[in-house]
Structures are given as structure tokens and as C-alpha cells.
């Protein structure tokens, strides 16, 4: 197995790449592909902002969690600072996705 590092970042699948895959594999034109990807992620984001969890069968769940306020500390100065309550998104992979992650990359097809 050959491994090369182009940078310190982990390679990511972008929205542009997803749109390109829709164009190539389904035959939508490029504008329709981009619009579909944008609409998909806008719908997920809007649902989460409204406080609704998002469940994608066979992939996982995006859930809203409210974190309580807590004391924090500035690591440089040691000064205590309050951390306000906030909402965060968590992702929990489905069992199916977890199983796929344990397989060899060549056996996913």
C-alpha cells in the first residue's frame, strides 16, 4: 500500500466533488447537481437549527445537544473565564456504517 502526504490535513470529500459525482453517475447536469447537493445540506442544517435531529438510514444520526454553562480557563494566563451554555451537533454513525469502516477498503465495492 502506497501512502503519501500532501499536507497535514486529512483529505475531504467536498460538496463540489459530490455534485461532480451526481453529474457523472446519474446524469444530472452540473447546475442541477450543485443545486441538489446545496438543497440537501440546507435542509439538514435548517432541521438542526430548528432543534430537530436528522436520521439518515444506513449512515447515522445528527443530534442537537445542549451543553451547560461551565467554568473554563485561559491556557496562557490561567485566568478563569465562564463558558456560556451552547448547542452543539453530534454525529453517531449507524451500525451499518461502523461495519463498513471495519472492512478493507477494496472490499467496499
Q: What pLDDT does 32 receive?
A: 93
Q: Which residues pair with 67 in a beta bridge?
A: 86
**Threshold 0.85, pTM exceeds:** no
pLDDT, tens digit, for every residue of 24-42? 998 889 999 999 999 999 9
Same domain, 57 and 108: yes
Q: What is the domain-level CATH number for residue 68?
A: 4.10.520.10
Backbone angles phi, psi at 61, to 5 degrees: -120, 135
Q: What is the pLDDT of residue 27?
A: 85
Q: What pLDDT score was predicted for residue 92? A: 97
Q: Is 38 helix (H, G, I), strand (E, B) or coil?
A: helix
Residues 66 and 48 in one domain: no
Residues 23, 42: one domain? yes
Name the residue among 6, 14, 73 with its Cα closest to residue 38.
14
Q: Is residue 5 part of a domain?
A: no
8 lies in a domain? no
Amino acid at each position: 500500500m502506497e501512502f503519501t502526504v500532501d499536507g497535514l490535513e486529512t483529505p475531504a470529500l467536498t460538496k463540489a466533488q459530490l455534485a461532480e459525482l451526481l453529474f457523472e453517475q446519474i446524469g444530472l447536469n452540473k447546475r442541477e447537481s450543485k443545486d441538489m447537493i446545496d438543497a440537501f445540506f440546507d435542509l439538514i442544517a435548517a432541521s438542526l437549527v430548528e432543534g430537530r435531529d436528522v436520521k439518515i438510514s444506513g449512515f447515522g444520526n445528527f443530534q442537537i445537544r445542549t451543553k451547560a454553562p461551565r467554568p473554563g480557563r485561559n491556557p496562557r494566563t490561567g485566568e478563569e473565564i465562564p463558558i456560556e451554555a451552547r448547542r452543539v451537533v453530534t454525529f453517531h454513525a449507524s451500525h451499518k456504517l461502523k461495519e463498513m469502516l471495519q472492512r478493507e477498503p477494496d472490499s467496499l465495492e
